[in-house]
Copies of this chain bind each other. A is one copy, B any other.
Amino acid sequence: MTPDRITAARSAMRERGIDALVVSVGSDLPYLAGYRAMPLERITALVVPESGDAVLFVPELEASRVSTSVEVSSWTETEDPFGLIADALPATGTIAVGDQMWASFLIAIQERLPGARFVDAEPMMASLRIVKDASEIAALRAAGHAADTVADHLGEVRFSGRTEQELSRIVADLLLASGHDSVSFAIVASGPNGASPHHEATGRVVEPGDAVVVDFGGRMRGYGSDTTRMYVVGEPPRGFVDAYRVLEAAQDAAVRSVRPGVGAASIDAAARTIIENAGYGEAFIHRTGHGIGLDAHEQPYIVAGNETAIEAGMAFSIEPGIYLPGRWGMRIEDIVVATTDGVERLNRSSRSLRVVE
């Protein structure tokens, strides 16, 4: 698989006038070479020249953990890895750099290659990664369905009297028990904390009457899951049920708008219009979604202004929300994949508001 991907990368490089590609921390490296770099100060980097062999530079002490189809070159603790990497890159011309590479690595390479021009590899890599093949979709589907079992199990869990942190830990444990290899995040945002979309679980004790946003995801066979469901402890807060109906309709409309050819921005608009018309426009403070694959967030971004046309095989979240500071928040999130004639939801657990103890 990876030799084909490197060949495809070379074609994309030629189309874009890129003379060499260098990727490190992040998902470009596992996509191209089947190996994920440790996010540490010892650089691991794959260099793909426009012609000539690709080489993966790794710290000597990590060489024995690397499994890849490309040539591996290890550097020792007292060598200068940036010199070795710079030597494998063209001294002039355009070098595309993986988006998540550390700035210190980039600056060290720039200092050694003052005649080169450095550009973000993300647009080129996204052109390769944005449409998922059948095996990638199968992995995303498996991760999504595993995450659904977590959402269902949570409906049986007592929320009242537990802290957000305790509930977040339960979600993380359920994710691993469901077959995920790792937990990426487990947001539990209760009561007024629900109005913070990226809330970090605190010691706040959940009480009767709280609405609770639970947004979680992990990695399974390399690919991500990401779903949000809403729980309420007994009686919902005043006005909550009416707003929830609006949110369900908005999320459903956005999902139903997905098909090949539609613009990403118009999927965002499908959700946003319904929320705005119900008077909650100011309370929907984020885009409708993001792509997902080897990265938790990647292209396509479902946001106003993004005219990317959806193609079959693109996978992304649809996750509108309504946030009332000081009161509550709500969000419903599914991962979907565009099919040749419409859309498949990769999350199938009930999107209804679940009443818990």
A interface residues, Cβ below 8 angstroms from B: 38, 40-41, 60-62, 64-65, 76-78, 97-108, 110, 118-120, 122, 169, 176, 195-200, 285-287, 296-298, 303-305, 325
Contacts and interface: CB of A to CB of B under 8 A. Distances in A.
Instruction: Quickly give the copy total for this chain.
Output: 2
Given A169-B176, A198-B38, A61 B286 contact: yes
B196 A77 contact: no
A168 to B, nearest CB: 11
9 contacts: A62-B196, A64-B195, A77-B304, A97-B104, A99-B104, A100-B103, A101-B102, A103-B105, A110-B118
Contacts of A197: 61-62
A117 to B, nearest CB: 10
A62 B199 CA distance: 8
A90 to B, nearest CB: 17
B297 A196 contact: no
A64 B122 CA distance: 29
A40 B195 contact: no
Contact of A285 (B60, B100, B118, B287): B60
A174 B62 CA distance: 26
A100 B104 contact: yes
A276 to B, nearest CB: 15
Contacts of A41: 99, 297-298
A265 B227 CA distance: 49
A348 to B, nearest CB: 26
Contacts of A77: 285-287, 303-304
A102 B98 CA distance: 9
A120 B108 contact: yes
Given A64-B196, A196-B64, A287-B77, A103 B97 contact: yes
B78 A107 contact: no
A196 B285 contact: no
A200 B181 CA distance: 12
B102 A107 contact: no
Nearest to A173: B173
Contacts of A64: 195-196, 199, 325
A61 B169 contact: no
Top-7 shortest CB links A-B: A99-B104, A64-B196, A101-B103, A61-B286, A103-B106, A61-B197, A104-B120
A104 B101 CA distance: 8
A62 to B, nearest CB: 5
Nearest to A303: B77
Contacts of A61: 197-198, 285-286
A38 to B, nearest CB: 6
Given A62-B198, A78-B305, 14 more contacts: A61-B286, A65-B199, A65-B200, A78-B304, A97-B103, A97-B104, A97-B107, A100-B102, A101-B102, A101-B103, A102-B102, A104-B122, A106-B107, A110-B118
